Amino acid sequence: MKKLSPLQIERLKYQPKLPASLAKGINSLELVEGDATQSVRDQEQIKALFKNTYGKPVVTFNSSSASTPSSVRNVGVILSGGQAPGGHNVIAGLYDALKQANPANKLYGFLGGPSGIIDGKYVEFNDEFIDAYRNTGGFDIIGSGRTKLETEEQFQKSLEVCKKLNISAVVIIGGDDSNTNAALLAEWFVKNNAGIQVIGCPKTIDGDLKNEQIEISFGFDTATKTYAELIGNIQRDANSAKKYWHFIKIMGRSASHVALEAALQTQPNITLISEEVEEKKMSLESIINYMTDIIVKRADMGKNFGIAIIPEGLIEFIPEMKSMIANLNDIMAALENDPDFVNATTIREKFDIVENRLDPENAKVYNSLPALIKGQLLADRDPHGNVQVSKIETEKLLIEMITTRLDELKSQGEYIGKFSAQSHFFGYEGRCAFPSNFDADYCYSLGFNAFALINFGLTGYLSSIRNLTKPATEWVAGGVPLTMMMNMEKRHGEFKPVIQKALVRLDGPVFKALEECREDWALNDRYLFPGAVQYFGPCEVCDITTCTLQLERAKELASV
């Protein structure tokens, strides 16, 4: 018998809450259809690409006294992309709904992400299997992967595997890219009369898969609370020892939602927001000046310590870096099979090859960087051909440049302090935490609801649970057509249909909340200490949602 920790044992017993409509039972639902929908932009192009799945209505579920008969169905599920707390509960909710609808239904899990459906690698779930993973973090129940499911050949192979297992619906749990692929697969299955439905579920700690219909992606709640706990602990340490500046990079890829939320929960001295850097066209030098100014002012007050939060994707938003990285991405794509580059034995040789190919302005920017960062910028690209920002140590770059700047100021007699910095990167620490009660409930509801969408024969929809700042019983269950969230964007030099990524809005209530306080937080220590995520105890402690969700929902409700 596998040994479990006391918290594991208690969490396995937790019964996630469902919206009242779903709690009545999967076979007692009524489908309510809204009006026909349009994509967020580029309507004509998206419509032409999704002839069979475009324009469907947003749907919601009400409980009904009539009982919906359910035929026997086999369903397959895929976990796609980066881990996010609560993924296991999406599968548990899906499994429970499917068995409740008809005990003869079967749920298959494809192994290792989207490649599982292409290669026919799968497991069949049963009660014992699912019960061991309820309310736990991680994606280890079936594993995840970043294979892009997008080619005709991959779709054909997926069809063959589904036919073999008599699968009539596939649930893809993923972020914007995975759900874009879910939309393509749904369209392809309809076009080819495959009789297989595709439903997506909104996952990513990054919080950038949201729009008017999707209030938040799952995992954001737990991950941000975990980072906030760690930042709070470091703030306490800094405030005790009073000798270090802590530079903390926070995961979240391009968007700064995670950094912003973590900052609102902890109130650090400095918070950089990538979207603001881009909007204000702040150069690396002006960022260094902004941070140095706060460090100098605090030193004048006798405070040689502080906390700076840096979003993971910052480097790509600094105008001169953005241009250099775009140039570098093209060069790296061209050099992929270049024997001189691939076989270069020293990093110096690689630098030379790249520098010679960069445009002169970009070469200047590249050369101005420390060797550590220059090397990291040459690391393997992600499946979209982009730099893997989690591998670029921006926090160390900033420390190095600020140290140089402070030395200059010291020699001019303009700085009297002592700068000693520690760097941190919080990312993987938060992606597999035990889901908070919010994520446990939200994910279970998303999975349960995904089966409701399947049961009503829908395809090309994203499972949606709304009204999330209210108690779970008041949540609204339904579905949003994936095509509604799409627009055309350039990928690998070609315009492609993709789900629009939500970046931090500088005119939105969340950024405004930071903007109002940050000057005060910079010099006067207003640190908050959120502590660890709580699973048992008063609901004001255990069931509260993020500041982001609360502020955005309050604004939305005020405008109704």
CA atoms within 13 A on the CB side of 476: 13
- In the shown chain, the binding pattern of residues 269 to 308 toward ligand FBP, with x for contact by CB under 6 A and - for none, equals ----------------------------------------
| Shortest distance, position 536 Cβ to ligand FBP, whole Å | 28
Residue 81 binds ligand FBP (CB under 6 A)? yes
**C-alpha separations of 43 from 35, 189, 400, 460 in Å:** 16, 22, 47, 16
| Shortest distance, position 83 Cβ to ligand FBP, whole Å | 7
For ligand FBP, which stretch binds (CB under 6 A), given 22-30, 69-77, 204-212, 472-480?
204-212
For ligand FBP, which stretch binds (CB under 6 A), given 80-88, 134-142, 357-365, 542-550?
80-88
For ligand FBP, which stretch binds (CB under 6 A), given 46-54, 78-86, 91-99, 282-290?
78-86
343 CB contacts (<8 Å, ≥6 apart)? none
| Residues binding ligand FBP: number (CB under 6 A) | 14
Residue 389 binds ligand FBP (CB under 6 A)? yes
User: Which of residues 389 and 503 has its CB atom nearest to ligand FBP in the complex?
Assistant: 389
Q: Which of residues 163-202 bind ligand FBP (CB under 6 A)?
A: 175
> In terms of DSSP bridges, do strands 59-63 and 476-481 run parallel, antiparallel, or are they unpaired?
antiparallel
Tokens of 124: 């069949």
Residue from 70, 105, 204, 362 touching ligand FBP (CB under 6 A): that is: 204
User: Which of residues 53 and 376 has its CB atom nearest to ligand FBP in the complex?
Assistant: 376
For ligand FBP, which stretch binds (CB under 6 A), given 17-25, 71-79, 245-253, 335-343?
245-253
- In the shown chain, the binding pattern of residues 342 to 381 toward ligand FBP, with x for contact by CB under 6 A and - for none, equals ----------------------------------------
Mind giving me the DSSP string for 489-539? Answer: EEETTEEEEEEPPPPPPTTSHHHHHHHHHHHHHHHS-------S---SS-H
For ligand FBP, which stretch binds (CB under 6 A), given 33-41, 246-254, 290-298, 345-353?
246-254
The verdict on whether 206 is a catalytic residue reads yes
User: Looking at the DSSP assignment, which residues form a beta bridge with residue 218?
Assistant: 203
- In the shown chain, the binding pattern of residues 403 to 442 toward ligand FBP, with x for contact by CB under 6 A and - for none, equals ----------------------------x-----------
Residue from 196, 214, 231, 251 touching ligand FBP (CB under 6 A): that is: 251
CA-wise closest residue to 346 among 374, 309, 381, 305: 374
Phi, psi of 155, deg, nearest 5: -65, -45
**C-alpha separations of 247 from 87, 268, 391, 424, 431 in Å:** 30, 11, 16, 6, 20
Residue 205 binds ligand FBP (CB under 6 A)? yes
Do the beta carbons of residue 129 and residue 123 sit within 8 Å? Answer: yes
Angle CA(445)–CA(450)–CA(456) in degrees, nearest 5? 125
Do the beta carbons of residue 251 and residue 312 sit within 8 Å? Answer: yes
Angle CA(463)–CA(385)–CA(49) in degrees, nearest 5? 50
For ligand FBP, which stretch binds (CB under 6 A), given 23-31, 76-84, 504-512, 539-547?
76-84
Candidates 96, 177, 206, 221; catalytic one: 206
- In the shown chain, the binding pattern of residues 312 to 341 toward ligand FBP, with x for contact by CB under 6 A and - for none, equals x-----------------------------
Give the separation between CA 317 and CA 320, rounded to whole angstroms: 9
Q: Is the dihedral of CA 453, 458, 461, 467 positive or negative?
A: negative
User: Which of residues 146 and 496 has its CB atom nearest to ligand FBP in the complex?
Assistant: 146
Residue 390 binds ligand FBP (CB under 6 A)? yes
Residue labelled with tokens 């972020």: 175
Other C-beta atoms lying within 10 Å of the C-beta of residue 389 = 22
Query: Which residues of this protein are in contact with ligand FBP, per CB under 6 A?
Result: 81-82, 84, 175, 204-206, 251-253, 312, 389-390, 431
> Which residue numbers are catalytic?
206
